[in-house]
Amino acid sequence: MTYCDLHLHSTASDGTDAPSQLPVLAKARGLAAIAITDHDTLAGHDACRAAAEENQIAFIPGIELSIDPGQPRGTFHLLGYFINDQSKALNSIIDQLTQSRLSRNPRIIEKLNQQGIDITEAEVLDLAGEATIGRPHIAAVLVDNGHADSISDAFSKYLGARGSAYTRRDKIQPEEAIPAVQDAGGLAVLAHPIQLKLDPHALEHKIKQLKEMGLDGLEVMHPDHSPDDTLTYQRLAEKYDLIPTGGSDYHGTRKTIKMGSQNVPLAIYERLTHIHAK
Ligand code: AMP
Ligand code: ZN
Ligand code: FE
Ligand code: FE
């Protein structure tokens, strides 16, 4: 069987491989198609597209937007596929999300400093380079400075929802984000539904609401999903006429997951492409 991977991060957000490197790695893994889905940025598209052409791999310009989950617990990420970077609506959302990251990061660092942890914003900016800065960059500095054993240790101790320096940031409402993805010519897909942390009844209700807002697809295959979860989400996708998608959520060395690890059939890429072309 031929496979694809429709959820990849690069150094444009919190991955560790350059956008131009993703197609090279995908080719080495025998994948036929990839999507770049960096958090809240389109900055990796051009370099990734050029490298995909060079390596003869099918390419989807994508994004992963940070959405307000509307509840204290849970993470809501919205994937957008086939994004045209000229959409005013989407670029305005990206600007808002960039601002909310820029105002949150110093607050996290301040909290860490108050707890006696020695870390500066300059160190984080230096490590992140051109990227949209996220908690994984702060985590990497904490590991480098010996304040955490690993990225996930830094999240449990300091940065995660139960961590001592956790700081919320403003996110976007789905009613605004779904139409913005579509304004950019894209398909809107609910990422890793497990991370919403909703019970089965509440999750189905949420999916129904999102479908009414125009949701196009549901990420069924993801490393956080158990085989049972995958089956449940596959059924929900069928019930609500949503395109099932999947990917590894590869972040390079910042996570242990390998590119291509979800064995997403190329047919999923083909179905997305077909629906997008209609
Ligand atoms: P941010 O976008 O700054 O809110 O950071 C969120 C990102 O941190 C997510 O996209 C994940 O890639 C990463 N992340 C969240 N929780 C963990 C964790 N427990 N261990 C490692 N990475 C995490
Ligand atoms: Zn990430
Ligand atoms: Fe995500
Ligand atoms: Fe992701």
Q: What digits encode the pLDDT tens for the residues 167-195?
A: 999 899 999 999 999 999 999 999 999 99
Strand 243-246 to 76-81 pairing: unpaired
Which atom of ligand 1 is found nearest the CA of 13?
A: 2
Distance, in Å, from the CA atom of 100 to the CA atom of 170, rounded to the nearest integer, reads 6
Q: Best substitution site from 16, 155, 157, 170 to test ligand 1's pocket, by max atoms within 8 Å of Cβ?
A: 155
**Average confidence (pLDDT) over 24-44:** 98
**What residue's CA is closest to ligand 1, atom 3?**
134
Q: For residue range 199-254, what is the model confidence (pLDDT) as tens digits?
A: 999 999 999 999 999 999 999 999 999 999 999 999 999 999 999 999 999 999 98
- Neighbouring residues of 226: CB distance < 8 A, sequence distance ≥ 6: none
- Evaluated on CA atoms 25, 59, 214, 89, the torsion sign reads positive
Selection from 191, 183, 196, 200 nearest residue 242 by Cα: 191
- pLDDT-derived band at 73 (thresholds 50, 70, 90) equals confident
Quick check: 186 and 82 in contact, CB under 8 A?
yes
Give me the residues near ligand 3 (ion), CB cutoff below 5 Å: 77, 191
**Average confidence (pLDDT) over 14-25:** 98
pLDDT above 90 for 90: yes
Selection from 75, 135, 139, 142 nearest residue 100 by Cα: 135
The pLDDT assigned to 278 comes to 84
200 C-alpha to center of ligand 1: Å? 24
pLDDT above 90 for 72: no
116 C-alpha to center of ligand 3: Å? 30
β-sheet bridge partners, residue 80: 63, 188
**Average confidence (pLDDT) over 11-17:** 97
* Three-state secondary-structure class, residue 134: coil
Q: For residue range 245-275, what is the model confidence (pLDDT) as tens digits?
A: 999 999 999 899 999 999 999 999 999 999 9
**What residue's CA is closest to ligand 1, atom 11?**
136
Angle between helix axes 200-212 and 227-239 (nearest 10 degrees) is 40
Which atom of ligand 1 is found nearest the CA of 251?
A: 12
